[in-house]
Structure 1
Amino acid sequence: MATFTGYLRARSDDELVALLVRRPDLATPHPATLASLAARATSRASLDRALTWVDALVLQVVEAVVVLDGPRAPTRADLHVAVGATGADAPVVDRAVDDAVALALVWPDDEGALHAAPGVGDALGSSVAGLAPAADGTTDAPLADVADAPAGAGPVLDALTWGPPVGLVPPPGAPGGEAVRWLVEHGLLERGDGRHVVLPRHVALTLRGGRTHRAPALAPTFADAPVRDTATVAAESARAAEQTVRLVRQLLARWEQTPPGVLRAGGLGARDLRRTAQGLDVDDAHAAWLVETAASAGLVADDGEETPTFVTTLEADVWAAQDLAPRWAVLARAWLTSARTPWLVGGRDERGALRSALDPELTRPWVPRLRRAVLDVLASAPVGAAPTPQDVHAALQWRSPRSVPPLTAVEAILADAARLGVLGAGALAAAGRALLTGDDAAEALAADLPAPVDEILLQGDLTGIVPGRPGAELEDLLDLAAVVESRGGAVTVRFTADSVLRALDQGTTADDLLARLAAAARGRVPQPLEYLVRDVARKHGRLRAGAASSYVRADDPALLAGLADDPRLAVLRPRLLAPTVLVADASPAELLAALRARGLAPVAEDARGAVVHAVAPERRARARGSRVAPVRERPLPERAAAVVATLRRGDAEPDAHAGRTGGVRSGSVRSGAVPSGGGPARTGRRGAPTDEGAEALDPVDPADPGQDADSLRARATGVAQRTAASRARRGATPPSSARATSDGTSEPGALLVLLREAAQARTSVWLEVVGPDGRSQRRLVRPLKVEGGRLRALDEQREAELTVAVHRIAGVDPADT
């Protein structure tokens, strides 16, 4: 197990399944062999993805292995020293090493020494652990000369020791210039270009005492975070959840009556948002969040008409019929999985345009992952702990130091979670924890909600007090006929003529309203409230409006007296057609509003004279399918196990064929190799390369169904064996011959891994390259980097650097040492 590919082959099935679960990109699409898996695991894209989500301590361990991986590979004990771990830190450092090994970023050999996976060093960048790139042929820095250095040399070395290793050269005559010049002359610094100097890696390690990091990056704790009482957290979470559900319900009711328009570029206009915020008695930012959450839950949508508007959907009717806890769970799940960024509403984009709510451009694919990460940080804190946004941001920075989210996004997500009720008093509530873990969030919230109250204390001053959270029926009654004055531990409402008129306009009679009030009241309905309801009902409907453009008629001519000459109605141009009929050049709605502003109480009627209650027609649109809905497929561990089984079969097939053909692995086939003479190879039938005493490839019949890939591979291996035997009889086996060794390969997956391993170890390989004319050429090179489908290598014999497309490489063999 001297290579990374060999290490993967030696891992158990359970370990390979764990690797594919933690790095799912390795299994998509399915690799055919373990060599292909190794090539994919060492590709730049996969390594970047894996390194992005490791925590700071795992990243330190990987950096330490990359720095110390040389002629003598580091052990776990060496890593403890390198990251500055003490005895108490050893278990967490070992945990980080285990994580790095499980992710195949680091692999152990048979002696227990640790090696970095090929390509990890390039993925980490040129300044690993704040050190300069490694150079060949370095020796220990003569630190004894520092005592003779001029003043200022010590501070220069101190500034560069722990990185970054590059500094600016002081201008001539500036303090420190002489010290920098002395350090360069004595090899303690190197010139990078005309303006910069670099602290060599071996010098920095010597100054650091052999360590790669000052101290291990331990996970932050929330020891200083305030701890809230469990009852307080539950009460605050329930209050916020109830408020959010109520506000969304009011939002749907308002948009059902007056749907707002859709901007030409998509989204909700600023005036409509401000109007909605005023109607809900919240600020614009809160209103934007409510609108975005309702849209994410599929409760409002663009109706798609020629003049589009945002209307409530059919799903909104189903949502409104549920209890409070299930309604909240729908909103909470939609918020958690939504890719929307409502905190950007009201700001300016890069073009200077105002960002509007429901703007299609406010989608960010990383937002759901960040929401889960924030809640996971809160879940890892002690129960009841309420960390600040800065504490949460620091924890996220430790969890993924290569992908740190902006602090503003973390603050916005915490504010949204508090509005929703996922948090209570700044701490993660039970409902939020259930939402994160996938448990029944509705049940968790229901356990924290206070019992609903179905009675109201009606008072003689036309007010009422609900001592707790109103039940569903009582909430409907209060929305219908009262105005809420305050909410808290109790709800205070007031009955006014306008609120009673609103109830009558929706078809409720005075007797029905008083009966519902009496059923909900603790005691009898106060006389002032009964008088109010009867008085408004007596006036209600005495006047009826219709369309002529619109008209008003009354049984009593005295009721219409003076209306035609009223200057307040002049804009409507009212005219008396008869003592009991008046028409106006306005819509019925405008005429009704004007008459009510004058103190009258008219009602609308249809063409047959029947009363039409002032209820806007219901408009519904079908919600569009959510783009964030998970794909229904097998669980990841099961799929990973299936991939591992495929890998084992694919890895066993070459061995089986090798056994049938004399023990030579099919991966070492060389096609189109150049003979030792250096000239073009002589070809036999179908242009197959031949040599003296070697047999040409038999013709292949494409119509023969029995010739599968395995049989062709076996036949090709046999040809390679016979060619090698022929050359052995002649005693001609130069480096340019088409050898078939188990150390080399022509399989694309294994080829890439072999090149990456050679680049990491800085060793040379024999490279077989096919030119544009189809001829192959064999060159001894030292790979430098394999990235983007190209190999950059150094040809030391020709003292030249070359770049080769990987698809032109026919085979790779390690150079003889």
Structure 2
Amino acid sequence: MTTLADHLRALPDEALAALFRLRPDLVVPVPTDLSALAVRAQSRVSVARALDGLDEFTLRILDAARLTRAGDDAETSVEAIVTLVLGDTTGNRRRAERAAARTAIDRLRALFLLYGPEDALRVTAGVDEVCSPYPAGLGRPAAELDPETAALVADPARLRRTLLAAPPPARAILDRLAAGPPVGTLPAAPAPGTEPVSPASWLVEQKLLVPVPETGGGPARPAAVELPREIGLLLRRDAGPLGPLRAQPPTVTGPEREPKAVDSAGAGQAMEAVRHTEALLEQLAGEPAPLLRSGGLGVRDLRRLAKASGLDEPTAALLLEVAYAAGLLGEADLPGAATTRTGADQQVLPAAGYEGWRDGSLAHRWEHLARAWLTMTRQVGLVGQRDDRDRVITLLSPEAERAGAPAVRRAVLGVLDDLNPGTAPAPDDVVGLLAWRAPRRSLGREAGQREVLTEAALLGVTGLGALTSYGKLLLAQWAAGDTRLTEAGDDPLGVRPDADGAAGGGSPAVRALDALLPAPVDHFLVQADLTVVVPGPPEPGLAAELAVVAEPESAGGASVHRVTAASVRRALDAGYAGEDLQALFRRRSRTPVPQGLTYLIDDIARRHGGLRVGSAGAYLRSDDEALLTEVLADRRLAVMGLRRLAPTVLTTPHLVGRLLTALREAGYAPVSEDASGATVLTRVKVRRAPARGSVANRVTDPLATPRLTTPRLLGIVEQVRRGDAAARAARRAPTTVRGAGRPGGTGPALPSAHAHSQALAVLQQAVRDKALVWVGYVDAHGATASRLVRPVSIGAGYLRAEDERTEMLHTFALHRITAAVLDE
């Protein structure tokens, strides 16, 4: 019997290189020899990885190969497989199906899930361990289950009569088991005379089902039944022995959208995603959320953030998870915390890179988020569900980690990418196509695939259900980045050189999205009611100024803000002078500045700083003695316990912050000062978590297949063959060589003249044929040794030969050679 290792040795280098290209996990790390390669190629992990990439039809063909062999170690043939799948019928359609079946067989042979000649194919050992024990949903042969059932199936006429006599409930059970899997549970037997015989019991009595004993914690008991293979094949006579076959993938169709409308809708949603993400991060900057000891954010914090931003909780969870993956969120220790344990006395707030991201263009900010979403190993749809311990999965918690999430996104978006531009398929069609392309990989991931479509729409990767043009460019850039990293191999850390976009305008996706988004504006329109209308996305500088001088009222493509007394006072507290605010509105406004706004600024600026607050507890001073007298007599401030220390100074036992608040609530406009009398600017102090890198800068998809160049593949083949030759050379020499020259096999001795001349003849022939030969010789210490070498030359009383295992050239004195035997 030819083993897989022998079959691999017989392959040319190009065939081995093709195997490594299709199954790159076989060379990570590079196997030492071909025997180790054969063991790895038949291991459960490697076989499962190869099977995960096969489509539904190819897996059915593999089931046919398993069914057509007589036993686990038996052989089959290409013709037997095709005949089982399609029968002997002819026709144009059947010819096409036979061609598809042979193509699937060739693919299985290229992956070495099947190996050997066409008339003696063998199934790789690990396939039976990984796949279902019931190929194509058929049970074991009747001969392996029960002799009486075997006698029944051996008589076709009797078997048909028995099947026709089955009651409808019993026939329904047979049809269900024939569709697969072929096993079921045997119901408990009813008490005698209480109920009629159950359908399953009738089938067992008629030998159509065979009880299968199950062993568990107690004694063995017949609790299950199995449908024999022959009966299952008979019941499948209409659908075929393997059931319904689909040689071609299902067609994915959908309404055709106008590409421009798709891009416009997607761009609008992308702008909203960026805006909502910034709003969520600003909420966390103002009020950081505590980190749970078990990891993640609490349900109440997520609800608070979602309500403050006007979002539903799933959308808020998605944007926060993406922001965390993009490095815009991080953890920081609470002020004064005594421990730095993960999840203990920590809070989540914007990271150090948040300001840099916020200052970028809309398209750059969107790309940063979208690339992080594509690459992150998080399944956001799990947030809010319960884990296997009935605990709620919280935002940012480890329970939402899924290593295969990037591969699911790649597969789902790949389906949209393959369609015509503007095609919006139904989610069921996308899920059905993925189930055909990779059934093993898609099993149990249907919910995650639907979530990808929902998340892509929320982030603006798709619009109106179709993939946008800039989304297509983003996918191409993602795939090209992975290809460059895996092929070049010049970056062991996996950091992408263009992680933040190429210089000079960004990536193609950024440029395409920039053309769709409204241009940033550097101006606004001030109306008579003191509202400020920004007719487009504001530039970063304008946005920073508006955040100080106005209160936001509505957001969107055109945002609305309102100037109030509190916002003007906030701007003055931040360091603006009244003239600065007047100049800002004159410079930025495209409409005349209303007189009411000018009066409001002048009035507050004139009163601003008339009172000055310091700490005593706190003190209050002013050059206007009458104003201090008015404050001292103000009943609204009686609770502050003000006391005059001098004509221009009042003091209170309360702290500065409380005094400032009380004065402002009473209608005054005080400012704070330090010990030297200088005004203290009250800009908001912003805390940031330590800087974090985005996951988009690294290749984190564990299922991504590394691509190897042809020279690298051929180099690996040469390394494996050299190791295989060394392993074969490392075995013990033949007995005739090890015992030569030693009477009785004990102690060294010089060879006889006949043995010496015979050894020389073998060596001379080996030099001519460049063959490997075992050489026995007496070394310099008088000990007998042997070595497998390839002779190079004989002359001047010496043999020069190469040891392929050590790649060294050795010289042997001819008179010390005791024996020479060609390697078989």
Task: Place the TM-score, normalised by the shorter chain, in its bin.
Answer: 0.7 to 0.9
SS of alignment partner, residue 212 of structure 1: coil
Partner of 2:25: 25
Amino acid at match of 1:192: V
Aligned counterparts of 2:657 and 2:15: Cα–Cα separation in 1: 73
More deviation, 422-431/352-361: 352-361
Q: 2:55 touches 2:438 (CA, 8 Å); kept in 1?
A: yes
Of residues 537, 559, 562, the one that matches 1:494 is 562
Amino acid at match of 2:721: D
Amino acid at match of 1:16: L
Q: 2:613 touches 2:621 (CA, 8 Å); kept in 1?
A: yes
SS of alignment partner, residue 433 of structure 1: helix
Of residues 90, 102, 117, the one that matches 1:109 is 117
Q: 2:331 touches 2:690 (CA, 8 Å); kept in 1?
A: no
1:433 paired with 2:472, answer yes
Partner of 1:519: 587
Q: CA deviation at 1:201?
A: 1.8
The alpha-carbon distance between structure 1 residues 536 and 253, as it changes in their structure 2 partners (threshold 3 A), is: farther
More deviation, 37-46/639-648: 639-648
Q: CA deviation at 1:377?
A: 2.9
1:423 paired with 2:453, answer no
Amino acid at match of 1:450: P
Of residues 549, 552, 575, the one that matches 1:507 is 575
1:163 paired with 2:173, answer no
The alpha-carbon distance between structure 1 residues 183 and 321, as it changes in their structure 2 partners (threshold 3 A), is: same
Partner of 2:323: 294
Q: CA deviation at 1:29?
A: 1.1
Of residues 601, 604, 623, the one that matches 2:691 is 623
1:471 paired with 2:478, answer no
TM-score (norm 2): 0.72
SS of alignment partner, residue 683 of structure 2: coil
The alpha-carbon distance between structure 1 residues 525 and 144, as it changes in their structure 2 partners (threshold 3 A), is: same
Partner of 1:38: 38
The alpha-carbon distance between structure 1 residues 151 and 328, as it changes in their structure 2 partners (threshold 3 A), is: closer
Of residues 148, 151, 155, the one that matches 2:166 is 151
Q: CA deviation at 1:119?
A: 2.4
Amino acid at match of 1:453: V
Q: For 1:261-340, list aligned pairs within 5 A.
A: 261-270=290-299, 272-304=301-333, 307=337, 308-340=346-378
Q: 1:252 touches 1:312 (CA, 8 Å); kept in 2?
A: yes
The alpha-carbon distance between structure 1 residues 5 and 229, as it changes in their structure 2 partners (threshold 3 A), is: same
Q: For this pair of structures, how many residues does the alignment match?
A: 687
Cα distance per residue 1:284-316 (max 9 Å; x no partner): 443333333222222232234652444443323
SS of alignment partner, residue 470 of structure 1: coil
Q: 1:141 touches 1:203 (CA, 8 Å); kept in 2?
A: no
Q: CA deviation at 1:40?
A: 0.9
Q: 1:245 touches 1:328 (CA, 8 Å); kept in 2?
A: yes
Aligned counterparts of 2:623 and 2:600: Cα–Cα separation in 1: 24
Aligned counterparts of 1:117 and 1:67: Cα–Cα separation in 2: 14
1:212 paired with 2:242, answer yes
The alpha-carbon distance between structure 1 residues 499 and 134, as it changes in their structure 2 partners (threshold 3 A), is: farther
Aligned counterparts of 2:632 and 2:381: Cα–Cα separation in 1: 52
Q: CA deviation at 1:265?
A: 4.2
Partner of 1:78: 83
Q: Percent identity, aligned pairs only?
A: 38
Aligned counterparts of 2:173 and 2:392: Cα–Cα separation in 1: 49
Of residues 431, 434, 438, the one that matches 1:393 is 431
Q: CA deviation at 1:2?
A: 5.5
Aligned counterparts of 2:787 and 2:548: Cα–Cα separation in 1: 78
Of residues 405, 418, 422, the one that matches 1:384 is 422
SS of alignment partner, residue 30 of structure 2: coil
Aligned counterparts of 1:383 and 1:274: Cα–Cα separation in 2: 38
Q: 1:82 touches 1:213 (CA, 8 Å); kept in 2?
A: no
Partner of 2:132: 125
Q: For 1:362-761, list aligned pairs within 5 A.
A: 362-403=400-441, 404-438=443-477, 440=507, 441-561=509-629, 574-578=642-646, 580-624=648-692, 630=698, 636-638=706-708, 641-648=711-718, 650-651=720-721
The alpha-carbon distance between structure 1 residues 426 and 361, as it changes in their structure 2 partners (threshold 3 A), is: same
Q: CA deviation at 1:47?
A: 1.0
The alpha-carbon distance between structure 1 residues 377 and 388, as it changes in their structure 2 partners (threshold 3 A), is: same
The alpha-carbon distance between structure 1 residues 94 and 443, as it changes in their structure 2 partners (threshold 3 A), is: farther
Aligned counterparts of 2:50 and 2:10: Cα–Cα separation in 1: 22
Q: CA deviation at 1:337?
A: 1.6
Aligned counterparts of 1:3 and 1:245: Cα–Cα separation in 2: 59
Amino acid at match of 2:174: L
Amino acid at match of 2:369: L
Amino acid at match of 1:191: P
User: For the aligned residues, what is the CA RMSD?
Assistant: 4.3
Q: CA deviation at 1:429?
A: 1.9
Q: 1:34 touches 1:647 (CA, 8 Å); kept in 2?
A: no
Cα distance per residue 1:617-656 (max 9 Å; x no partner): 3444432456785479x99443675354333454367679
The alpha-carbon distance between structure 1 residues 12 and 236, as it changes in their structure 2 partners (threshold 3 A), is: farther
SS of alignment partner, residue 47 of structure 2: helix
Amino acid at match of 1:103: L
Q: CA deviation at 1:391?
A: 4.0
The alpha-carbon distance between structure 1 residues 141 and 602, as it changes in their structure 2 partners (threshold 3 A), is: farther
Q: 2:327 touches 2:695 (CA, 8 Å); kept in 1?
A: no
Of residues 143, 168, 176, the one that matches 2:199 is 176
Q: CA deviation at 1:683?
A: 9.6
The alpha-carbon distance between structure 1 residues 228 and 683, as it changes in their structure 2 partners (threshold 3 A), is: farther
- Consecutive unaligned residues of structure 1, counting only runs of 5 or more, are 658-664, 673-681, 687-692, 715-739, 743-817
Aligned counterparts of 2:529 and 2:60: Cα–Cα separation in 1: 71
Cα distance per residue 1:407-457 (max 9 Å; x no partner): 443344333333322222332222322222226332332232222333333
Cα distance per residue 1:632-689 (max 9 Å; x no partner): 9x994436753543334543676799xxxxxxx76997999xxxxxxxxx99789xxx
Q: CA deviation at 1:272?
A: 4.6
Amino acid at match of 2:540: A
Amino acid at match of 2:440: R
